[in-house]
Amino acid sequence: MIIAVVGPTAVGKTKLSVELAKKYNAIIINADSTQVYKGMDIGTAKVLEEEKEGVEHLLFDIVDITTNYTVFDYQRDVRELLAKYHNRNIIFVGGTGLYLKAALYNYEFLEEEVSACNFEDKTNEELYELALKKDPNMNIHVNNRKRLVRFLNKKSGENAPCYPLYDAIFVGLTTERARLYERIDKRCDEMFASGLVEEVRGLYKEGLESKALATAIGYKEIISYFKGEITLEEARELIKKNCRHYAKRQYTWFKNQMPVTWFQVNFDDFNKTIDDVEKFLDS
């Protein structure tokens, strides 16, 4: 059995995944694009060792922040795990919808796409030839390097029908928007209290302008503070704002891209939510 626990940030996915893993003797596989990075712990709300309760967690802390770990890399790694643990129950947990789609659906890449990079070692003419190889009808000018790179990094068959390769059950956690935003703001404050600024400072010295730090919410805002572009309080409020916007995008993705069964979270008695999900799965 494959279960994917999805939903917006700060809704309780980690706790539910651990409880389900204990009940169904499952392993947990990360489906969050930032939690693959070593050292990015506080800002990504990465599961703590004591929270794992002895459950095996995979694809967490697997690459350095200076590594550009792409969705192609994730698909390769996760497909190997799906083959290795084909006789085990597996629970995916995370809010990166594209990672789940790449893992469980017929999401394919061209050979030239696998690095999702800037093709710095290639000339415009070489990029143009690669683009023609991908689509003979493409009409991007040879000197428009930016569009050529973007075109080459797009997944192939974007308009082709997408279908699941694995029999997975998608469980979504949701709550009222005001309650979710309240939890997001509270989590952000807790991250600052737990040492988020210090975590980012250490990683920034190590990774400088790595893609992971430059794009991850909770990190890019603190880096702007380090650069003197905003105050620390402005960084805090910007993180909250960006997390709220991200939560909205997560809802949109999962509601439109995957067959999710949604459950209202009972934050006053989370065990009730766990029971509801388990009854659904057992049925």
Asked if residue 166 and residue 206 are part of one domain, the reply reads yes
Asked if residue 45 and residue 169 are part of one domain, the reply reads yes
- For the chain, the domain total comes to 2
Asked if residue 120 and residue 45 are part of one domain, the reply reads no
**Domain's final residue, options 99, 133, 153:** 153
Asked if residue 234 and residue 267 are part of one domain, the reply reads yes
Q: What is the separation of C-alpha 182 from the centre of its chain, rounded to a whole number of angstroms?
A: 22
**Domain's final residue, options 119, 153, 187:** 153
Asked if residue 245 and residue 115 are part of one domain, the reply reads no
pLDDT tens readout for residues 74-129: 999 999 999 999 999 999 999 999 999 999 998 876 544 444 455 565 788 877 88
Asked if residue 169 and residue 273 are part of one domain, the reply reads yes
pLDDT band at 152 (very low <50, low <70, confident <90, very high): confident
**Which range of residues forms the domain containing residue 209?**
2-107+162-282
Asked if residue 202 and residue 116 are part of one domain, the reply reads no
pLDDT > 50? residue 171: yes
Comparing 244 with 160, the larger pLDDT belongs to 244
Q: What is the CATH number of the domain that holds 231?
A: 3.40.50.300
Asked if residue 128 and residue 267 are part of one domain, the reply reads no
Can you give the pLDDT at residue 158?
A: 46
pLDDT mean across residues, the chain: 90
Asked if residue 14 and residue 133 are part of one domain, the reply reads no
CA gap 107, 164 in Å, rounded = 9
pTM of this structure: 0.82
Comparing 175 with 128, the larger pLDDT belongs to 175
Asked if residue 90 and residue 35 are part of one domain, the reply reads yes
Asked if residue 141 and residue 98 are part of one domain, the reply reads no
Choose among 183, 198, 186, 184: nearest CA to 42.
198
Asked if residue 181 and residue 88 are part of one domain, the reply reads yes
